[in-house]
Chain A
């Protein structure tokens, strides 16, 4: 059982380049989330999805787009990368909403550097 898998694990981009981060979960979870983790800032929610075909903005959505075409996959896109987007990106999933006492399952992260 793989759980939550993030691809790639590391990436270096130049300013202005675009890329897509892939998150895949094999637990049949409805809810999926993208976070970024920066030193001294904790984790902040970028976008989330409450089911296939749905997406919604989180706390820091600017500069990112997402898609949830298949239930098991949640894609995070950077259309024009900026140095401020250098961060560690985490994907998480859960079967029920957060208030239902079901914990989230996290991937191991994608370390992204924008030069």
Chain B
């Protein structure tokens, strides 16, 4: 049973488009939800962290929302650029040391 699900597994869009990545999770008893970026052959870089009491967080062209009641989070990327191509992972923080990851969405931005 997958606790955190990301659909689609891969997404390809033309440069300049706005796009939304989806993350759904079971069990609304989460502390926080975090979005990461992973470039090929590299580790994870934290993008945004939404506390359970918050509805959204913004950083530059990125906006992440959290709806605990429906078990969903979205990552909105505005005016996409080729440099945004990467795998994006969401993870729910369920305890002091429990970080549960989704499988990720591999994003390709075509010039």
Chain A residues engaging chain B, CB cutoff 8 angstroms? 4, 31, 33, 40-45, 48, 50, 56, 58, 90, 92, 97-99, 101, 103-109
Contact = CB atoms under 8 A, between A and B. Distances in A.
B43 A90 contact: yes
A41 B103 contact: yes
B-side interface mostly: strand
B83 interface: no
B55 interface: no
A97 B51 CA distance: 14
Interface stretch (B11-19, B74-82, B93-101): B93-101
Interface residues of B, number: 25
Interface string B58-100: 0000000000000000000000000000000101010111111
A99 B102 CA distance: 18
Contacts of A107: 43
A48 B104 CA distance: 23
B46 interface: yes
Contacts, number: 66
A97 B89 CA distance: 20
Nearest to B45: A106
Counting chain B CB atoms within 10 Å of each CB, the highest count among A42, A103, A104, A108 belongs to: A42
Contacts of B95: 98-99
A108 B42 contact: yes
Contact of B96 (A58, A97, A106): A97
Given A104-B46, A106-B44, A98 B103 contact: no
B41 to A, nearest CB: 7
29 contacts: A31-B97, A40-B103, A42-B91, A43-B44, A43-B89, A43-B91, A43-B99, A45-B97, A45-B99, A48-B97, A90-B43, A92-B44, A97-B96, A98-B32, A98-B96, A98-B98, A98-B99, A101-B32, A101-B51, A103-B34, A103-B46, A104-B46, A104-B99, A106-B44, A107-B43, A108-B41, A108-B42, A109-B41, A109-B43
Nearest to B52: A99
B101 A43 contact: yes
